[in-house]
Amino acid sequence: MMHRTAQLGSQRIAARIAARSLSTKRVIQDPNAPVPRQGIACANRVVVKVGTAVVAKPDGRLALARMGGLVEEVAQLKRNGKEVMLVSSGAIGVGRWRTGMKVSDVLPDPDNQIDRQVCAAAGQEVLMSTYDMMFQRMGMKCAQVLITQNDFLNQERYFALTSTITRLANLGIIPIINENDVVTGSHFGDSPQVFKDNDTLAALIASGTDCDGLALLTDVEGVFDKPPNQPGAQRIPVYTSKHEVEIGDGSAMGRGGMGGKIAAACLAAAGGVNTVVASGYDVRNIRGVFQGEDLGTLFEAKERPTKSQRWLSFFVETAGNVTISDKARHRLMSHPEKASLTMDDVVNVDGHFTAMEPIRLLDHTGQEFARGVSSMGAVDITESLEGASLGDGLDQSLGEKMHNLHLMKPGELFVVNRLNGSKPIVAL
């Protein structure tokens, strides 16, 4: 009897997927999408991010009809020759329903940390098993990838993680990615936080795996100049830094809000990924986004930095600071491709970093303008400065002493804008 019930349940869900498939057929548009949507229309490797409000109902139960349509749309992208990665929220929301907890039990609050992690453990299994069954019905394979903050903070782990996800996509397996909220779901401690929601996680994954396009699906039609439920709110078709947006309240079911989505989209664009924020309630928008239709809000991709540069600029937690002279700063900013630092350039050192740890370079006002990996530890630099002040003549370049104060090969120096809109960073 139990086997018969499970079989009937699978048949019902399969029927929903098939019905959704028939209802989501669209006329394929001209591949020459209007500017500026050509970039995302031509994307070969893409990330689709869906939030809790897309995959779950307000009471926490899975929105099976929407999930079925989502799976069909992802399958269609693959049939069109794209490599697809899926970042899916929903574990905590679904886990709340399964454990019988109240909404107030899982609100982002330090007092709810353990309950949120319990819900994540209960909900992730339901979420993943449902995805697996649905993709199997489509004749496709998927794989679970759970990520922690430290996977980005350590460069070797970051390279290994992004290479693994890329390899899965190369094999035709759809990576289904989520934060491992069971162990890192609090976000209330003092530990470094590379990302605080799955919008940012999706942006980091898209950038780190050299994706061409990212669809951040949410519960609104895109980015509006003010909350869309207010009179006169207008959708912004293409976002630029000149736009001013009045941010409303975040979603009650997830951690993100429109402010977080804008920040995540800007991060992805800075990493070379064309990004669209659009509604996920109509899953047909997925296909429309990657056909270049005027849906949601587009964040146009910037020139893509190297992978090491992305790690330095977006993910790394620095271990200390080195203050350098104005003359050296001007040299670095004017000709980063030829830049080098000597002990004459160093004014002060702060922190307890060791050799080969990432540090920040500061100007005389204490403002950060560059990052790099120091080939000398703080103690060695301090001793060299003290020795030079005593006339020991230790003014040789760091390259002559210990391979220079840099991380990358010659010619890999670059200047990018800080994601918070402040001064630029030179990645060394």
What span, in angstroms and rounded, lies between the C-alpha atoms of 46 and 41?
Answer: 11
- Between these two residues, 391 and 116, which has the higher pLDDT value? 116
- Among residues 170, 173, 258, which one has the least CA distance to residue 216? 258
Q: Average pLDDT, stretch 84-92?
A: 94
CA atoms within 13 A on the CB side of 194: 26
* pLDDT, mean of residues 163-182: 95
What are the pLDDT digits (tens) for 399-424?
344 334 443 343 444 444 443 343 33
Report the chain's mean pLDDT, rounded to a whole number.
Answer: 79
pLDDT at 195 over 70: yes
- Greatest mean pLDDT among 117-131, 179-193, 315-329 lies in 117-131
- Mean pLDDT value of segment 50-65: 90
- For residues 202 and 264, the answer to whether their CB atoms sit within 8 Å is yes
Give the pLDDT confidence score for residue 189 in this predicted structure.
52
User: Average pLDDT of 50-59?
Assistant: 89
pLDDT tens-digit profile of 325-349? 898 888 877 776 666 677 778 888 9
The neighbour count for residue 402, using CB atoms within 10 Å, is 16
Q: Say what percent of the chain tops pLDDT 90.
A: 39
CA separation for the pair 341, 177 (Å, rounded) = 41
DSSP E strand stretches across 14-132: 45-50, 83-88
Q: Quick one: which of 48, 11, 6, 55 has its CA closest to 286?
A: 48
Q: Are 197 and 51 in contact (CB under 8 A)?
A: no
pLDDT (0 to 100) of residue 313 = 73
Assess whether pLDDT exceeds 70 at residue 3. no
Cβ(345)–Cβ(328) below 8 Å: yes
Average pLDDT over residues 101-109: 84
Structure tokens at 376: 């000398």
pLDDT of amino acid 103: 87
In the chain, % of residues over pLDDT 70: 76
Which residue has better confidence, 185 or 107? 107
**CA-to-CA distance for 199 and 268, rounded, in angstroms?**
10
Beta partners for 324?
346
When mean pLDDT is compared across 52-61, 312-321, 331-340, the lowest value belongs to 331-340
Residue type present at position 143: A
Phi, psi of 250 (to 5 degrees): -80, 175
Q: What's the first-to-final CA gap in the chain, in angstroms?
A: 65
Q: Looking at per-residue confidence, does 225 or 335 come out higher?
A: 225
Cα–Cα distance for residue pair 141/124, rounded to 1 Å? 18
Q: Which of 135-139, 278-282, 289-293, 410-414 has the lowest mean pLDDT?
A: 410-414
Q: Which two structure tokens, joined as six digits, stand for 99?
A: 């454990």
Residues 41-56, mean pLDDT to the nearest whole number? 92
The answer on pLDDT for 135 being more than 50 is: yes
Structure pTM? 0.75
pLDDT given at position 237: 93
pLDDT above 70 (res 307): yes
Q: 304 is written with which tokens?
A: 């893509």
**pLDDT of 78 over the 80 cut:** yes
pLDDT value at residue 20: 41
Tokens matching residue 335: 């000709």
**Per-residue pLDDT at 34:** 54
Which residues face 414 on adjacent strands?
427
